[in-house]
């Protein structure tokens, strides 16, 4: 093996040319933190040794330089380096500060000093901070903030309100384009939810959120628009807001379902919406999938009704809890009495928040477990004079039983990751069955308390049971059998009629998708042609495919299928799916992963499943599921212009999930 040698002069010393080259190749300090790797023809990237993030370095003949690499380390942008600095001062080029040689530390410090201050980057990060945390735009003009930032970086220049606003809007516009590109590239449709907020000025703010599944079977729930309407009571304004959203995001003809806030679900508004949307959006199953009420709002309405029905008894319990929790001496005596009575409860008393019904439920549950202590408290603490009868405690206990039913059902939509539509059928059918039995109870108190709830929930059940049933059928662990089981429990001898409605509905829906994805031949086929129609894969099928919506077109389709199969019925993807064995019910089962893995086996049915499983049954965010009042904009938010407010709210929602994946370049 040849060993390379260093060129020398006549005296055996390194030549002057070699010494000059060595001086030229003196490494920048950033290469103590980065490595260089070739990632493709003519493309070289720098990789951070700490967080492994890649950065542009050489693309073709263009050299990106090292300034952005210095900022990554010097400004604490690198998350790994920043985490280490929280424990020990991190000195570049060494494992710990304590083991660094003085010369190495001096070299590192000079490296930090050479990083130039970037005012534009600071402006961008301030705007991003304001968006992500909901800070007021004028925070950058407040003295405390200015002093703090200038202590960290004396070169920081004051930023005006207008500069911050423009930067925030710029972030919003960039993220909006990214999201628009993502939605434009999905193979299926989009479902919308419509939620209403109000303000002290009696203005309405319509939140429109899009729900869809991308071609990698990721489920998205993103706020698309926040539109101010002059009157929250006007149905026309909501219709116009929805049409604006469809136009803004190029969703004409791609709307699948619409879920409304309960306050918007009157017959006039629904009638107007059906008429407007039917112009450009083909409604499947005669619009039976199109509109429904918000799941969380319905549950909150039921909880509020039953709490109002028992408001006098609940008020006694609330005052008892306040007596204990608002005085240290009272609470101390209460704890002592609990220990003497050896009450085993581990619940902690807390006063409820009247704007959140789940807090009232938790208060009542804790008080019920400690009712023995409350019953004796007047003899132990003479200041306590609230008398709650034994019969009243029994009624509170019964109330908690049914509140738990609603609480467990509502908890589905409080998770950070919004669930797919297949998980709701069993919970909703369980509520329907339990309330039905309670309404017919021989206990007069239970019947009195639950009958109004059952009558209200029954209307919701009739409106949503079809779409929820279709969604759970798309779960390979349950398919049609879970629908048959639940309908037999609810309807008894009449179950077969309802089962047939669902079975006919899902087959009709599948036929709609077959017609959309079917590519008919341009020229008539010869009578003797034995070729079979092939459906396109979801990734290749056109969303604008031939729609055979007329009766005559459907008859032609059936005759054509009959001809090519010799009069024998061809088993569809749907029938094949329904007849195959069930998937095991494992704890970590992910229905979207299952369909992603089986999309080639069921090209048409998987397209249908992606639209159905992305349907949202609730319009509210996870932190608003238990609200008893409509959300209100605060005074600062209403002081902003509509466009700025929309930019801040939407961008905050989008930044929570990082950057949206972009479709590959053509």
Each residue's pLDDT tens digit, 447-493:
999 999 999 999 999 988 999 999 999 999 999 999 999 999 999 99
Structure confidence by residue, pLDDT tens digits, 495-525: 999 999 999 999 999 998 888 877 534 433 3
249/310 same-domain check: no
DSSP state of 422: G
Taking the C-alpha atoms of residue 362 and residue 352, their distance in angstroms, rounded to an integer, is: 8
413/434 same-domain check: no
Instruction: Out of 75, 104, 132, pick the residue that ends a domain.
Output: 75
- Strands in 296-369 per DSSP E: none
497/478 same-domain check: yes
In a domain, 540, yes or no: no
310/189 same-domain check: no
Neighbours of 92 (CB within 10 A): 19
Provide the whole-model pTM: 0.73
Q: Would you state the pLDDT for residue 547? A: 34
Nearest in space to 471 (alpha carbons), one of 257, 278, 298, 287 = 257
Across the range 372-390, mean pLDDT stands at: 91
413/424 same-domain check: no
429/366 same-domain check: no
The pLDDT-based confidence of 39 (bands split at 50, 70, 90) is: confident
Taking the C-alpha atoms of residue 173 and residue 290, their distance in angstroms, rounded to an integer, is: 30
Q: Would you state the pLDDT for residue 636? A: 93
374/335 same-domain check: yes
Query: 563-570: which pairs have CB atoms within 8 A and are 24 or more residues apart?
Result: 563/527, 564/529, 564/530, 564/531, 564/532, 564/533
Q: Would you state the pLDDT for residue 418? A: 86
Q: Which element (helix H / strand E) includes 179?
A: helix 161-184
On whether the CB atoms of residues 421 and 289 are closer than 8 A, the answer is: no
In a domain, 524, yes or no: no
From edge to edge, which strands make up the β-sheet containing 291-293?
A: 219-229, 204-213, 190-198, 255-260, 291-293
Q: Would you state the pLDDT for residue 292? A: 74
Q: Tell me what the pLDDT averaged over the chain comes to.
A: 81
In a domain, 565, yes or no: no
On whether the CB atoms of residues 604 and 513 are closer than 8 A, the answer is: yes
Can you say whether residue 428 is alpha, beta or left, with left for phi > 0 and alpha for psi between -120 and 50 degrees? alpha
132/216 same-domain check: yes
In a domain, 107, yes or no: no
Across the range 639-651, mean pLDDT stands at: 95
Structure confidence by residue, pLDDT tens digits, 197-237: 999 888 889 999 999 999 999 999 999 999 998 876 666 77
String of DSSP letters for 568-606: PPPPPHHHHHHHSPPPP--TT--HHHHHHHTTTTSHHHH
What is the count of structural domains for the chain?
4
On whether the CB atoms of residues 615 and 213 are closer than 8 A, the answer is: no
In a domain, 451, yes or no: yes
Taking the C-alpha atoms of residue 470 and residue 425, their distance in angstroms, rounded to an integer, is: 9
253/139 same-domain check: yes
366/488 same-domain check: no
160/234 same-domain check: yes
Structure confidence by residue, pLDDT tens digits, 394-427: 999 999 999 999 999 999 999 878 899 999 999 9
The pLDDT-based confidence of 68 (bands split at 50, 70, 90) is: confident
238/124 same-domain check: yes
Higher per-residue pLDDT: 37 or 326: 326
Taking the C-alpha atoms of residue 360 and residue 318, their distance in angstroms, rounded to an integer, is: 9
Indicate whether 58 pLDDT > 90.
no
Q: Take residue 514 and report the two structure tokens written for it.
A: 């077959």
Establish how many alpha carbons lie within 13 A of residue 471's alpha carbon, considering only the half-sphere containing its beta carbon: 25
In a domain, 548, yes or no: no
Q: Would you state the pLDDT for residue 52? A: 76
In a domain, 439, yes or no: yes
Q: Which domain holds residue 60?
A: 29-75
Chain centroid, CA 505 distance in Å: 28
Distances (CA, A) of 530 to 78, 527, 556, 571, 586: 63, 8, 17, 17, 44
Q: Take residue 606 and report the two structure tokens written for it.
A: 């998987």
Q: Which residues are bridge partners to 11 per DSSP?
A: none
In a domain, 104, yes or no: no
Lowest-confidence pick of 58-67, 241-250, 254-263, 319-328: 58-67
Taking the C-alpha atoms of residue 184 and residue 252, their distance in angstroms, rounded to an integer, is: 12
């Amino acid at each position: 093996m040849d060993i390379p040698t260093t060129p020398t002069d006549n005296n055996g010393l390194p030549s002057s040319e070699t010494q000059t080259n060595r001086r030229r190749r003196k490494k920048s300090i950033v290469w103590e933190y980065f490595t260089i790797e070739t990632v493709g023809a003519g493309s070289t990237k720098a990789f951070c040794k700490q967080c492994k993030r890649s950065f542009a370095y050489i693309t073709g003949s263009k050299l990106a330089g090292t300034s952005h690499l210095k900022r990554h380390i010097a400004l604490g942008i690198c998350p790994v380096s920043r985490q280490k600095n929280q424990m020990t001062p991190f000195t570049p080029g060494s494992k710990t500060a304590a083991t660094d040689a003085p010369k190495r530390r001096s070299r590192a410090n000079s490296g930090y000093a050479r990083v130039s201050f970037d005012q534009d980057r600071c402006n961008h990060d301030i705007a991003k901070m304001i968006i992500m945390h909901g800070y007021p735009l004028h925070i950058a003009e407040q003295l405390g903030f200015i002093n703090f930032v200038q202590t960290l970086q004396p070169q920081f220049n004051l930023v005006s309100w207008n500069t911050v606003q423009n930067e925030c809007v710029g972030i919003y516009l960039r993220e909006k384009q990214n999201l628009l590109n993502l939605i434009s590239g999905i193979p299926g449709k989009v479902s919308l939810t419509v939620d209403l907020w109000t303000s002290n000025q009696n203005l309405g703010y319509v939140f429109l959120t899009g729900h869809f599944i991308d071609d990698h079977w990721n489920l998205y729930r993103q706020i698309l628009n926040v539109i101010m309407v002059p009157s929250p009571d006007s149905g026309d304004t909501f219709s116009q807001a929805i049409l604006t959203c469809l136009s803004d995001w190029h969703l004409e003809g791609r709307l699948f379902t619409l879920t409304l806030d309960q306050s918007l679900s009157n017959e006039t508004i629904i009638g107007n919406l059906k008429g407007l949307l039917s112009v450009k959006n083909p409604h499947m199953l005669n619009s039976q999938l199109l509109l429904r009420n918000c799941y969380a709002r319905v549950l909150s309405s039921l909880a509020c009704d039953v709490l109002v029905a028992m408001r006098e008894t609940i008020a006694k319990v609330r005052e008892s809890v306040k007596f204990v929790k608002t005085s240290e001496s009272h609470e101390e005596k209460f704890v002592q009495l609990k220990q003497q009575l050896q009450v085993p409860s581990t619940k902690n008393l807390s006063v409820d928040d009247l704007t959140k019904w789940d807090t009232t439920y938790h208060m009542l549950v804790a008080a019920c477990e400690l009712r023995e202590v409350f019953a004796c408290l007047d003899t132990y603490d003479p200041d306590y004079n609230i008398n709650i009868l034994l019969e009243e405690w029994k009624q509170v206990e019964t109330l908690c039983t049914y509140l738990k039913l609603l609480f467990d059902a509502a908890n589905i939509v409080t998770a950070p990751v919004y669930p797919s539509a297949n998980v709701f059928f069993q919970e909703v059918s369980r509520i329907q069955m339990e309330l039905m039995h309670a309404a017919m109870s021989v206990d007069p108190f239970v019947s009195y308390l639950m009958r109004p709830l059952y009558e209200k929930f029954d209307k919701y059940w009739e409106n949503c049971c079809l779409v929820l049933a279709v969604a759970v059928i798309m779960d390979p662990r349950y398919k049609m059998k879970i629908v048959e089981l639940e309908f037999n429990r609810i309807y008894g001898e009449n179950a077969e009629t309802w089962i047939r409605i669902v079975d006919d509905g899902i087959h009709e829906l599948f036929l709609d998708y077959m017609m959309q994805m079917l590519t008919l031949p341009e020229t008539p086929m010869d009578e003797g042609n034995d070729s079979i129609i092939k459906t396109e894969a979801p990734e290749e099928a056109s969303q604008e495919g031939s729609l055979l919506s007329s009766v005559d077109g459907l008859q032609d389709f059936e005759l054509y299928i009959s001809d090519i199969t010799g009069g024998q019925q061809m088993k569809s993807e749907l029938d094949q799916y329904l007849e195959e064995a069930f998937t095991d019910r494992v704890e970590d089962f992910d229905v979207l992963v299952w369909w992603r893995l089986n999309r080639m086996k069921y090209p048409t049915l998987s397209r249908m499943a992606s639209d159905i499983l992305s349907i949202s049954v609730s319009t509210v965010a996870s932190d608003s599921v238990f609200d008893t009042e409509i959300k209100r904009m605060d005074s600062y938010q209403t002081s902003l212009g509509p466009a700025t407010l929309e930019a801040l709210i939407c961008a905050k929602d989008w930044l929570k999930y990082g950057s949206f994946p972009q479709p590959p370049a053509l």
